[in-house]
Structure formats: C-alpha cells, structure tokens
Structure 1
C-alpha cells in the first residue's frame, strides 16, 4: 500500500521543522550567552576600577587618622571618583541596578565615606575591609551569572579572580603601613598584622610575572620588614603609599591582561 501524499509530507516536514526550530533556538541561546558575556566583562572592568578607588580610600584615610593631614585633599578627590564610578556601575545594566548586594554596597559606602572623620583607625580599616570583601563577592557573582569562564577548564578560569585577592593583601598592607608610617610607631598588634600580610603576599608571588613586578613587590616586603615593623618606622607615609600602590598596579595589570585574554578567546 502506498503512503498517502499528505502523510508523506507530514513525515518529511515535521523532522525538518524540528531541526529548523532547534537551530534557531541554539542560535538564540548563543546570542543571549554572548550578550550576557559582554555585559559581564563590562561590569568586571568598572567594578575593578571601583575596587581600586575604595582600596586607595582605605589607605589614605588610615594615614589621615594617624596624622597625615596632607592626605585630606586626595581623599576628597578620590571620593568624587568613587561617586562617579558608582554611577557608571549602576548605569551599566539592569542586572546590577536590581542586585541586592550592589544596593547594600552603595548604602554601606554612604556611611563609610565619612567614617574616618571620627578618628577611629581600627574601625575605619575594618569597615573598609568588609565593604571590599562584599565587592569581591559581587565580582564573583558577576563572573558566575555572566559565564565569564572558559569551557576548557584552563587554570586561567580562576587565576584572574585570585589576583584580586593578592591585590587585596597588598591593599591591606598599604593601609596599615601608611598608618604606621604616619604615626611613627608600630604597635605589637600592627606588627602581627603586617607580618601576617607580608607572608601572604610573599607566598602569592608568581614566578611567571614580569621581573619588574616581582622586584618591586620584594622591595615592598623588605620595606615592611626593615622600615615598618620596627621600634622606629623610618619611611614617610606618602612614600610607602606610593610604593605599595605600584605593587598593586603590577598585580592588577596581570588581572587586566587575563580579562582581556578571556574576552579575546571568547570573540
């Protein structure tokens, strides 16, 4: 018995239609994934700038509280940068504007930005640390939600996030050390904290980093050991802040390169 023409057409059209729908669906998913990825990269780059500014704010305000009154103008200029950058983050997309963690960060910053005027160095330092930790958690969320990893499982998938942790170790050492240098004395508690951070930084140095980066970070570690955690700190607050800042920039340059590579490999 011959198959009726209508049935033959159905048997041909249905599978073809299914394949077409599948192809269209896959293309749509790829476009959505690509759009999500691009948005994520944009978020990461802006948040990286915000992280840098808030870390600098922690260091400068710690120095100011401990006697470096000359930092006041730099602090005020930095607060303007933070204000504008927070506006850029919020304007970057709806996902961020509706994010609870982001809203919490904005609220925390509104209180933290004037906290240093109370003159409590320890409280100022700890509250900056909390805000920065939450900002790093938000960056992790962005990476996960926006699929900012490579399907190869390459170690590079996570290295770029780990670099932010290294920068934060140096950032904390910059803040504490700037305070010590400004005050001209290092308490036993601060010695313990600085030595702990020094060890964290030393164990994080990657032999694949450029020689200049490794040399300058080793210089920072030597400075902490010989000019800060001593009876009479012998480095100026501004000089130490600049040295530590250069070291952070070396680490963040590695971060920027890895994010650029991630973006290039996806394109």
Structure 2
C-alpha cells in the first residue's frame, strides 16, 4: 500500500512538472510569434510614415514621388498579406487600419495636403496602439519579462516618439518648401518640440537593457539624444523662430530621417535583447 501511495505521488509530481513545462513552452511560442508580428507592424508604421511624406510631395507637384509611392504601396501590401491569418488580424484596430489604408489609396492629386497628413497620422497612431495591444496579448510585458522590466516604454513611448519625429519631418519639410511657417504650423511644431524634449529627458533614460548589452544600449541612447537635440534646435531656430525660413527642405528631411533612424536602432536593439530572454 505504501509503495502504491509513493508511486501515485511520484506520478502526480511528474504530471505537474510536465504541465508546467508545456505551459512554459507554449508561453515562449506565444512570445516569439508575437515578437515577429510586432516587427511586422513596426515595418508597416515605417512604410506608412514614408507614404505620408511622399503623398505630400506628390500633392505638391513632385512627379518623382509617384513611382516611389507605388513601391511603398507594394511593401505595405506584402506586410498586410503576411498578417492576415495571424492573431493580429482579429484585433478591431487591424480592421480599422485596413479600412483606413484602403481609403487612403483612393486619394487623387486634388486631395488637400493637410487632409492627407491628418488621415495618415490618424492611421499611424492606430497602428501604434495595435502594436501595443499585440505586445500585451503576446505576454511581452513586464509581468512576463523581469529581465527587461521597462519593456512597456518600447511598445508605447518609443513608438510614439518616433512618430512625433515623423510628424515634425512632414510638417517641417512643407514649411521649408514654402519658406514660411504659418501660425498653425508653429503651434504644431512647438507642441512636437516640447514632447520630443520630454522624451529625451525621460523616456530614453527609462529603457531597460541586459547587463551584457549595457555598452551598446548606452551608445545608442547617446546617439539618439544628440540627434534629437540637434533636430529640436533646428526646429526652434530655423523653422519656428526664423523671420524667414531659409533652411533647405532636403537638409531638414535628412536630419529628421536620421533622428528617426536612431530611434529605430534603439527599437531593434530592444528586440534583439528580447530574443535572448524568451
């Protein structure tokens, strides 16, 4: 009888161990799949930001932008198709995105630049929230990732910060082309300057890193901060504060794009670290 009791207890312990192991394995799969989907959504955001700028250029009469727009549309279409059968497609924000994207594709050259900007910006913000939802649904949060416990800043603040820079790029290029900063543009740019400055002081310093990635992380944050500060200085002195806007639009575009790239480098490094711990 004692032998049977001992055998039963051992069997129960084994079952509990196997169930726990299966749960851990299933959780890791959810996390890994989720990270892949997050990177796909991030690429759509990057392409949508490029599409916003190119559409503005096209509406302003830049005929060279049309071919580039065609290429961006194909890239977005590929990412959409790759996510259609994923859990992401069950999110109502995904349905809102695909509907919004379909309507943006119907824009013609008689559409207004301001309306195009607003519509793109609304769509990108929805994508940012979709990315955050996907992170939560994929267990890629601080509760599941004690080694990278500030990961939430990556899924929200870092994404929205990069988008703020994207907005400053779109507005700033338009201002530089017109060589005039309207009162509306000044209000928009001043708001973005304040938001971006807060990010430099706050959000970037809160991002987590693994001990072995400290040097790389510190270097990436340093470069992003320097680039952000330079962009803010140019926005303040050359756009908002200038009696007459004289900065070259291509020069400003490159500066803003470089700053976005530095932020994307931080995002990519966070993803690299996540792949180490999941």
Q: Show the counterpart of 2:257.
A: 245
Task: Mark the CA change 1:228 to 1:73 in structure 2 (over 3 Å): closer, same or farther.
Answer: farther
- 2:219 matches 1:219: no
8 Å Cα contact 1:68-1:237 kept in structure 2: no
Using the TM superposition, give the Cα deviation of residue 10 of structure 1 relative to its aligned residue in structure 2, in angstroms: 4.2
Q: Show the counterpart of 2:51.
A: 57
Using the TM superposition, give the Cα deviation of residue 233 of structure 1 relative to its aligned residue in structure 2, in angstroms: 2.1
Q: Show the counterpart of 1:109.
A: 101
After TM superposition, the structure 1 stretch with the greater mean CA deviation from structure 2, 108-117 or 122-131, is: 108-117
Task: Mark the CA change 1:22 to 1:211 in structure 2 (over 3 Å): closer, same or farther.
Answer: closer
- 2:178 matches 1:164: no
- 2:84 matches 1:99: no
Q: Show the counterpart of 1:185.
A: 180
Using the TM superposition, give the Cα deviation of residue 231 of structure 1 relative to its aligned residue in structure 2, in angstroms: 4.3
After TM superposition, the structure 1 stretch with the greater mean CA deviation from structure 2, 148-157 or 138-147, is: 148-157
8 Å Cα contact 2:228-2:259 kept in structure 1: yes
8 Å Cα contact 1:61-1:71 kept in structure 2: yes
Pick 1 or 2: higher relative contact order, CA cutoff 8 A, min separation 6.
1
Using the TM superposition, give the Cα deviation of residue 180 of structure 1 relative to its aligned residue in structure 2, in angstroms: 1.7
Using the TM superposition, give the Cα deviation of residue 154 of structure 1 relative to its aligned residue in structure 2, in angstroms: 4.5
1:50-89 CA distances to partner (integer Å, 9 max, x unpaired)?
1111011112222333454443332222222212222233
Q: Which runs of 5+ in 2 are unaligned?
A: 206-217
Using the TM superposition, give the Cα deviation of residue 153 of structure 1 relative to its aligned residue in structure 2, in angstroms: 6.9
Q: Show the counterpart of 2:195.
A: 200
Instruction: Provide the rounded CA distance (Å) in 1 between the counterparts of 2:108 and 2:275.
Output: 38
Q: Alpha carbon RMSD of aligned pairs, Å?
A: 2.2
Task: Mark the CA change 1:113 to 1:219 in structure 2 (over 3 Å): closer, same or farther.
Answer: farther
Q: Which runs of 5+ in 1 are unaligned?
A: 1-6
Task: Mark the CA change 1:195 to 1:228 in structure 2 (over 3 Å): closer, same or farther.
Answer: same
Count of residue pairs brought into register by the alignment: 258
Q: Show the counterpart of 1:4.
A: none
After TM superposition, the structure 1 stretch with the greater mean CA deviation from structure 2, 10-19 or 103-112, is: 10-19
Task: Mark the CA change 1:202 to 1:63 in structure 2 (over 3 Å): closer, same or farther.
Answer: farther
1:199-221 CA distances to partner (integer Å, 9 max, x unpaired)?
21122124754544333322222
Secondary structure in structure 2 of the residue aligned to 1:117:
coil
1:219-252 CA distances to partner (integer Å, 9 max, x unpaired)?
2222212322234322333332222111101011
Counterparts of residues 3-152 of structure 1 (less than 5 Å): 7-90=1-84, 93-115=85-107, 117-149=109-141, 150-152=144-146
Instruction: Provide the rounded CA distance (Å) in 2 between the counterparts of 1:151 and 1:46.
Output: 21
Using the TM superposition, give the Cα deviation of residue 39 of structure 1 relative to its aligned residue in structure 2, in angstroms: 0.1
8 Å Cα contact 2:221-2:266 kept in structure 1: no
